[in-house]
């Protein structure tokens, strides 16, 4: 056989391999989904466990400090609530406009336009209400500024750091309420003594110039916790609470508060506990300083 007739033999081998790796991206997406669902159900559980007061406290904590909640309108999507940088100014202006609007009168437009007590046909009631609104607005502003000044003065004094929890100030419907409270193991007065500790004295002295700037009068009331023993049978809780209130008045007067700003100084003993459920608690021993809102003066000639 001739060599020229030989042809090369080609052998093809097919190698079978497994499928390529599909990757793990789906696992990451699934893990994110599970984490989000867990966080969602945890949030639902936390919301169901909190009280309305706690929810409002959380909302107020995260709210911007330069806006405040006001009531205005008659309902709607926000339920009559609005956010305003001017605080209660919106509600105040709306109330003032409503109070000062002219009322219908048989005397005609000329009589309706004339107000006051010195004009015939003037609307005395509207004038009084308008005066009330204006005065309350000024008092609210002054009292808010005074509360902020008191807190700032206490915080700026390093000597009062240890008794920061014993000093409270809040704005109420009656006015400005300032409390000097005993704490368990940290009283503001020595046991059985009417004279305060030096730290307490400094805290009281800080109040005097701030309260002097307000035009309102103050009431000072002393309180004691129940169950205390008094070695002198003629000197008990009533005498001690009265003396402590009067000692606070004396310190305020020493540092700038005039006597005509003090309306009353009383001792309440244990008759009005701060914690009614536990009258023996140390926190019931306290001295309260209340700056009262002043009623607007009645216009001359106003008839009931």
Query: How confident is the prediction for the chain on average, in pLDDT?
Result: 76
What are the backbone angles phi and psi of residue 3, rounded to the nearest 5°? Answer: -70, -20
Contact assessment for residue 294 and residue 216, using Cβ atoms and an 8 Å cutoff: yes
The structure tokens listed for 127 are: 């004038």
Compute the residue count for the chain: 304
- Tell the burial category of 22 from Cβ atoms under 10 Å away from its Cβ (0-12, 13-18, 19+): exposed
What angle do helix axes 198-213 and 124-156 make, rounded to 10 degrees? Answer: 150
The helix (run of H) or strand (run of E) holding residue 202 is helix 198-213
Q: What is the 3 state secondary structure string of 66-115?
A: CCEEEECCCCCCCCCEEEECCCCHHHHHHHHHHHHCCCCCCCCHHHHHCC
The Cα 9–Cα 14 span in angstroms is 16
With a CB cutoff of 8 Å and minimum separation 6, the contacts of 122 are 114, 115, 116
Place of tokens 């007590």: 117
48-57, 143-152, 163-172, 205-214: lowest mean pLDDT where? 48-57
Q: What pLDDT is stored for residue 105 in this prediction? A: 43
Query: Is pLDDT larger for residue 117 or for residue 185?
Result: 185
Which domains are present in the chain? 143-292 (3.30.1330.60)
Residue ranges with strand state E in the chain: 68-71, 81-84, 167-171, 175-181, 218-223, 262-267, 286-292
Q: What pLDDT is stored for residue 68 in this prediction? A: 45
The Cα 188–Cα 197 span in angstroms is 6
The Cα 40–Cα 34 span in angstroms is 10
Q: What pLDDT is stored for residue 47 in this prediction? A: 81
Count Cβ atoms below 10 Å from residue 116 Cβ, excluding itself.
12
β partners of residue 171? 176
- Our measurement of the distance from residue 4's CA atom to the centroid of its chain's CA atoms, rounded to an integer in Å, reads 111
| pLDDT band with cut points at 50, 70 and 90 for residue 28 | confident
Using the predicted structure, report yes or no on whether residue 79 has a pLDDT greater than 80.
no
Place of tokens 């309420």: 177
Q: What is the pTM of this model?
A: 0.54
DSSP 8-state secondary structure symbol assigned to residue 9: -
Task: State pLDDT tens for residues 59-68.
Answer: 777 765 544 4
Query: Is pLDDT larger for residue 204 or for residue 298?
Result: 204
The arithmetic mean of pLDDT across residues 103-124, rounded, is 46
| pLDDT band with cut points at 50, 70 and 90 for residue 2 | low
The Cα 136–Cα 174 span in angstroms is 11
Place of tokens 């704005």: 171
């Amino acid at each position: 056989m001739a060599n020229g007739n030989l042809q090369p033999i080609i052998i093809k081998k097919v190698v079978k391999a497994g499928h390529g790796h599909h990757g793990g991206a789906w696992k990451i997406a699934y893990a994110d989904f599970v984490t989000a669902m867990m966080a969602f159900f945890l949030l639902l559980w936390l919301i169901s466990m909190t009280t309305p007061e706690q929810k409002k406290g959380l909302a107020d904590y995260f709210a911007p400090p330069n806006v405040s909640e006001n009531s205005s309108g008659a309902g709607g999507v926000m339920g009559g609530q609005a956010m305003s940088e001017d605080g209660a100014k919106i509600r105040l202006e709306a109330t003032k406009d409503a109070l000062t609007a002219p009322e219908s009168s048989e005397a005609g437009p000329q009589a309706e336009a004339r107000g006051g007590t010195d004009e015939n046909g003037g609307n005395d009631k509207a004038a009084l209400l308008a005066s009330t609104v204006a005065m309350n607005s000024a008092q609210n502003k002054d009292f808010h500024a005074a509360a902020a000044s008191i807190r700032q003065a206490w915080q700026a004094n390093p000597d009062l750091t240890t008794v920061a929890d014993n000093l409270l100030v809040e704005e109420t419907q009656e006015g400005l309420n300032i409390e000097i409270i005993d704490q368990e193991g940290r009283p503001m007065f020595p046991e059985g003594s009417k004279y305060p500790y030096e730290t307490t004295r400094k805290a009281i002295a800080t109040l005097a110039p701030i309260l002097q700037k307000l035009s309102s009068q103050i009431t000072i009331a002393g309180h004691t916790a129940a169950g205390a023993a008094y070695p002198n049978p003629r000197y008990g809780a009533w005498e001690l609470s009265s003396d402590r209130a009067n000692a606070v008045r004396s310190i305020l007067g020493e540092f700038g508060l005039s006597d005509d700003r003090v309306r009353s100084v009383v001792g309440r003993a244990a008759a009005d506990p701060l914690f009614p459920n536990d009258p023996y608690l140390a926190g019931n021993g306290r001295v309260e300083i209340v700056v009262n809102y002043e009623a607007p003066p009645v216009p001359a000639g106003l008839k009931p």
